[in-house]
Amino acid sequence: MKSTKQQNVWLTIGAVVVLAAIAWVSLRGTTEPGNDSAQNVKSADVMSPALFTDAKARAAYQVAKDIPEVLEQLPCFCGCMMNFGHKNNLFCFKDQHGSACDICQDIALDARKMHDQGLQIAQIQENIRAKYAKYQP
């Protein structure tokens, strides 16, 4: 009888350890900065513009939905690349970070204007760097 109780205790402890390990691995993968590659962040990963009431934020999130291939080639100069592990400006719109950051929004909106004017990505990158590099922490 004693061995059955002892077996149950060890089975319970083992189950708890296994579940804790699974939870740790699952959570760790989503919280490490820079865990996603730029290629994995596409318009489907961007938050919906409809979630935001601020017109500028909504417009910036719409840009991220519309031209992710442009934003993924642009750096961000607000400090998020150093502090949050962002790889490019597109990363700013995966979560609510872009809704509260004027620099992120301005880069996206400027990129849209230049893209609509037919500028090539190299020229857009150069213009963005020239305008926003002074804000980099």
Tokens of 7: 């077996």
The number of distinct structural domains making up the chain is: 2
Number of H helices, E strands in the chain: 6, 0
Same domain, 16 and 60: no
Same domain, 55 and 108: yes
Same domain, 51 and 98: yes
Q: Using CA atoms, how far apart are residues 41 and 50, in angstroms rounded to an integer?
A: 19
pLDDT 10s digits, 40-90: 555 568 999 999 999 999 999 999 999 999 999 998 888 777 777 778 889
pLDDT 10s digits, 110-120: 999 999 999 99
Same domain, 79 and 62: yes
Buried b (16+ CB within 10 A) or exposed e, 42-62: eeebbbebeebeeeebbebbb
The DSSP 8-state label assigned to residue 50 in this structure reads G
Same domain, 55 and 115: yes
Asked if residue 13 has pLDDT above 60, the reply is: yes
Handedness of CA 61, 64, 111, 30 (dihedral sign): positive
Range of the domain at 21: 1-32
Same domain, 59 and 118: yes
Same domain, 54 and 118: yes
| Percent of the chain predicted with pLDDT > 90 | 47
Same domain, 68 and 125: yes
Identify the pLDDT of residue 130. Answer: 96
Q: Using CA atoms, how far apart are residues 75 and 18, in angstroms rounded to an integer?
A: 41
Same domain, 128 and 80: yes
